[in-house]
């Protein structure tokens, strides 16, 4: 089995010119036909120009179009990977559980808790090397946003799509997120596994400490990051473009505060570490250093190597078509037009 790829796939964007050329050719042909209709009757014009062919210009244009397309594909440098080899890398498996409840919109950490957490996760992803990462979002329920993978670009892509609207039911089910993360690691992976829970700690849904203990029993470390300041902050909402804040039934502004005690208990139960975020830093670098201390396991993967260029075939085909276009006349050949090969 061979693996196909383009070394410079960005050149394929040039193929967008093909439909533009087709439209221009159609417009030109249509204008020419209308001009001939104004010149005289169709049969009379045909007698005046007996060698004019309607099909040959179309054939020449198709030939020219195929030549250009083939040349563009050649510039993209198609390649086949002829050898499959096994590559061993060292790393850990890491799943991030990100709180997306409305309380994460509080602005005690700028620009708000959720956006600051997303930036910190993005920076953490940039520092990962040979590690697998997954992303779970939670509020009243927990959902897998990104299955565990080594594709860091996908991790950032899915992270950008995260918002408080991504989970239908509000709440803060930290325990459900930890349980989902615990069951989301690769079954065959024998190395170290870690869960990072990023939240303000206001858990009202389940037994998060118990979930952390269960994860620890399976050899999974649970780390927590407290998003928010001890004094807390109001939760902004926007009505008709005007900024307001969530209020309780009595009309008082609701202030959401960081529950450090809960997060410390979760981290202790999960054999992990708790760090508190502030406006200077989120603390993921501290956790990254802790994760790096874990014994890394070898991750075996299969990759293609020794890619061979195949662009020369497309260049050859393009040259052939251009030569064919050169010798192919738009008019009928006066010596060959009367030959009828099929009677």
H or E element in which residue 213 lies: helix 208-217
- For residue 341, the model assigns a pLDDT of 39
- Written as six digits, the tokens of 229 are 């300041």
Longest dimension (CA), the chain: 99
The answer to whether residues 144 and 183 touch, using CB atoms and an 8 Å cutoff, is no
Q: Give CA–CA dist 142/177, Å, rounded.
A: 5
- For residue 2, the model assigns a pLDDT of 46
The closest alpha carbon to 106, from 196, 201, 173, 197, belongs to 201
- For residue 304, the model assigns a pLDDT of 45
Handedness of CA 317, 321, 323, 327 (dihedral sign): positive
The closest alpha carbon to 2, from 87, 85, 82, 86, belongs to 82
- For residue 285, the model assigns a pLDDT of 74
pLDDT in tens, the chain (343 residues): 446 777 788 888 888 998 998 999 889 888 877 766 666 555 554 555 555 566 777 888 888 888 888 888 888 888 775 555 555 556 789 999 999 999 999 999 999 999 999 999 998 898 888 789 999 999 999 999 999 998 998 899 999 999 999 998 888 899 999 999 999 998 888 778 999 999 988 766 788 999 999 999 999 999 999 998 888 899 998 888 888 898 888 889 989 888 899 999 999 999 999 998 887 777 787 787 777 666 554 555 444 455 667 778 888 888 888 888 777 665 554 544 554 433 4
């Amino acid at each position: 089995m061979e693996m196909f790829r383009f070394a410079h796939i960005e050149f394929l964007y040039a193929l967008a010119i093909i439909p533009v050329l087709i439209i221009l050719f159609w417009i030109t042909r249509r204008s020419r036909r209308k001009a001939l209709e104004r010149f005289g009757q169709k049969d009379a014009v045909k007698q005046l120009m007996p060698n004019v062919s309607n099909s040959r210009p179309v054939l020449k244009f198709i030939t020219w179009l195929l030549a250009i397309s083939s040349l563009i594909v050649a510039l993209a440098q198609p390649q086949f990977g002829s050898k499959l080899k096994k590559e061993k890398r060292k790393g850990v498996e890491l799943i991030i559980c990100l709180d997306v409840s409305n309380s994460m919109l509080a602005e005690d950490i700028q620009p708000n808790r959720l956006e600051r957490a997303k930036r910190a996760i993005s920076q953490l992803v940039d520092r990962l090397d040979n590690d697998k990462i997954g992303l779970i979002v939670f509020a009243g329920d927990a959902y897998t946003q990104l299955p565990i993978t080594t594709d860091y670009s996908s991790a950032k892509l899915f992270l950008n799509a995260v918002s408080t609207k991504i989970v239908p039911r509000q709440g803060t089910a930290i325990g459900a997120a930890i349980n989902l993360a615990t069951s989301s690691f690769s079954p065959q992976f024998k190395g170290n596994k870690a869960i990072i829970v990023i939240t303000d700690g206001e858990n009202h849904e389940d037994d998060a400490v118990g979930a952390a203990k269960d994860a620890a029993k399976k050899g999974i470390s649970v780390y927590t990051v407290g998003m928010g300041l001890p004094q807390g902050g109001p939760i902004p909402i926007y009505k008709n473009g005007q900024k307001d804040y969530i209020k309780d039934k009595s009309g008082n502004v609701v202030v959401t505060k960081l529950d450090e005690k809960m997060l410390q208990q979760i981290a202790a139960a999960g054999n992990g570490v708790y760090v508190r975020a502030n406006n200077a830093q989120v603390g993921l670098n501290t956790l990254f250093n802790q994760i790096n201390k874990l014994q890394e396991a070898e991750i075996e993967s299969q990759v293609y190597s020794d890619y061979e260029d195949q662009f020369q075939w497309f260049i050859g085909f393009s040259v052939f078509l251009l030569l064919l276009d050169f010798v192919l006349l738009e008019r009928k050949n006066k010596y060959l037009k009367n030959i009828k090969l099929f009677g």
